[in-house]
């Protein structure tokens, strides 16, 4: 179990600067442009007082990019996924499809972590996608030519990410976080084909994903962010934690559980009673989906409510999700982002100092 005392943190992604978004849109991204953006977000995190930092996912077009960066075997634009907001707005992005046997071709230390480790003045966090997320990208008629059994594909991906996690830890990364955006999507028939057996299936998915961190050094903090959908300020899951918390939180054996509690979709804090006693709950109370500022007093009140289910010394605070799960980013500006990060840090200082 890691031992970093973190009361305020980001989930992972930060808004890309305009020059980086322009380069990504035009297909003219260079390492120099990415490095510049990483240095800027490191300074942002340092200046607002975050105790642990990351590269803001500046090198990624999409949150699950690390798998595509170090693994051959995917068609990165295998199908198009369309999101629809409550007000009828739609937006689309491409998603990968596994099309051949997976082979590991590189290291995330070289692709991402080495630069931020060399320039950060405090502990570094790196985020990784959970392997089971990619089960949604196993497509009959294409993927089954390489992997007739999806479980064999999943086992290969777990092995690759396990090696990547160990290499990141060996390089000096102190905090490794998995991002799991589909545990709460109980109506996803690719992941939960039998709606009457969702509990056993969810437990199986969580147990599979946590294998990524097998064998890590004891001083590396492990975490998992249970996402509810985050694409250009749109969400996906409407199933509250109350409905799956007993299974999910019992199986999620990590140092830190980052949970989204920025709106009513998540339900109440009662589900937190199922969290294992060795885990810290990071309350995602500050939304990244709109620019309206949160009140410090309201945040302190909600933290107090959560402490009725989990002791205060096992709670922390963060935004509910990243600010930019894809390169386009959510519907708010860089000044809004800074204010929200400052609010997270200021509230944490008032509550836990």
Give the start-to-end residue ranges of the domains of the chain.
18-352
User: Rounded to an integer, what distance in angstroms lies between the CA atom of residue 249 and that of residue 229?
Assistant: 19
User: Rounded to an integer, what distance in angstroms lies between the CA atom of residue 159 and that of residue 134?
Assistant: 14
Position 333 scores a pLDDT of: 96
Position 309 scores a pLDDT of: 97
Position 78 scores a pLDDT of: 65
Position 192 scores a pLDDT of: 87
pLDDT digit string (tens) for the chain, length 353 residues:
466 889 999 999 999 999 999 999 999 999 999 999 999 999 999 999 999 999 999 999 999 999 999 999 998 876 665 655 566 666 666 778 999 999 999 999 999 999 999 999 999 999 999 999 999 889 899 999 999 999 999 999 999 999 999 999 999 999 999 999 888 888 777 788 898 899 999 999 999 999 999 999 999 999 999 987 666 556 565 678 888 899 999 999 999 999 999 877 777 899 999 999 999 999 999 999 999 999 999 999 999 999 999 999 999 999 999 999 999 989 999 999 999 999 999 999 999 98
Closest CA to 220 of 254, 248, 252: 254
Alpha helix segments (H runs only) across 49-175: 65-70, 108, 114-119, 150-171
User: Around Cβ 336, how many Cβ atoms within 10 Å?
Assistant: 18
Position 46 scores a pLDDT of: 98
Position 228 scores a pLDDT of: 78
Tokens 């510049």 sit on residue: 36
Position 84 scores a pLDDT of: 57
> How is domain 18-352 classified at the architecture level of CATH?
Alpha-Beta Barrel (3.20)
User: Around Cβ 193, how many Cβ atoms within 10 Å?
Assistant: 10
pTM above 0.95, yes or no: no
């Amino acid at each position: 179990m890691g031992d970093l005392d973190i009361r305020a943190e980001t989930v992972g992604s930060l808004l890309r600067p305009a020059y980086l978004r322009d380069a990504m849109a035009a297909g003219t991204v260079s390492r120099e442009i990415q490095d510049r953006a990483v240095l800027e977000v490191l300074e942002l995190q340092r200046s607002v007082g975050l105790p642990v930092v990351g590269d803001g996912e500046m090198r990624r077009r999409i949150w699950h990019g690390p798998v595509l960066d170090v693994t051959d075997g995917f068609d990165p634009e295998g199908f198009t996924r369309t999101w629809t907001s409550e007000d009828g707005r739609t937006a689309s992005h491409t998603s990968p499809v596994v099309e051949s046997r997976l082979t590991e071709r590189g290291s995330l230390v070289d692709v991402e972590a080495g630069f931020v480790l060399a320039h950060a003045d405090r502990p570094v966090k790196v985020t990784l996608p959970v392997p089971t997320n990619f089960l949604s990208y196993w497509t009959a008629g294409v993927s089954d030519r390489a992997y007739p059994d999806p479980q064999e594909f999943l086992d290969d991906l777990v092995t690759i990410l396990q090696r990547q996690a160990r290499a990141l830890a060996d390089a000096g990364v102190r905090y490794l976080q998995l991002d799991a955006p589909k545990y709460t999507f109980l109506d996803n028939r690719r992941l939960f084909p039998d709606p009457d057996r969702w509990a056993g299936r969810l437990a199986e998915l969580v147990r599979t994903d946590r294998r990524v961190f097998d064998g890590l050094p004891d001083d590396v903090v492990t975490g998992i962010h249970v996402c509810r959908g985050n694409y250009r300020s749109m969400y996906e899951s409407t199933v509250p934690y109350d409905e799956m918390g007993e299974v999910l939180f019992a199986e999620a054996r990590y140092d830190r559980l980052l949970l989204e509690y920025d709106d009513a979709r998540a339900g109440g804090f009662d589900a937190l009673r199922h969290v294992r006693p060795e885990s810290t709950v990071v309350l995602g109370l500050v939304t990244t989906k709109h620019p309206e500022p949160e009140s410090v007093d309201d945040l302190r009140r909600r933290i107090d409510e959560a402490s009725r289910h989990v002791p205060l010394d096992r709670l922390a605070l963060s935004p509910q999700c990243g600010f930019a799960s894809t390169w386009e980013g959510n519907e708010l500006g860089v000044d809004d982002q800074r204010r929200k990060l400052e609010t997270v840090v200021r509230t944490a200082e008032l509550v836990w100092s």
